[in-house]
Amino acid sequence: MVFGCKRCGKCRDVCPVGAIYEENELAKIDTEKCNLCMKCIDECTNRSIIYME
């Protein structure tokens, strides 16, 4: 999930499988594509991405 996103695009750019996209001005993660590499979490300088099982 993405909360408090500033829409910088860093997470989208670093995602190796293209699982992050923008919809209605919010960043969303396609859980079907996501391989849980966590690169987006490391890249987010705003700490907006939270991993939840």
pLDDT at 1 over 80: no
Write down the pTM of the prediction.
Answer: 0.79
Annotate 3-53 with DSSP letters as a single string: -S-----HHHHH-TT--EEEETTEEEE-TTT-----HHHHH-TT--B----
Position 3 scores a pLDDT of 61
- The whole-angstrom separation of Cα 38 and Cα 35 is 8
CATH number, domain containing residue 29: 3.30.70.20
Q: How many domains does the chain have?
A: 1
Question: Which tens digit of pLDDT belongs to each residue from 3-51?
Answer: 678 888 899 999 999 999 988 877 889 999 999 999 999 999 888 888 8
Q: Check pLDDT > 70 for residue 53.
A: yes
Residue ranges with strand state E in the chain: 20-23, 26-29
Q: Which two tokens stand for residue 28?
A: 């969303």
Q: Residue 32 sits in which domain range?
A: 1-52
> What is the distance in angstroms between the CA of the first residue and the CA of the last residue of the chain?
11
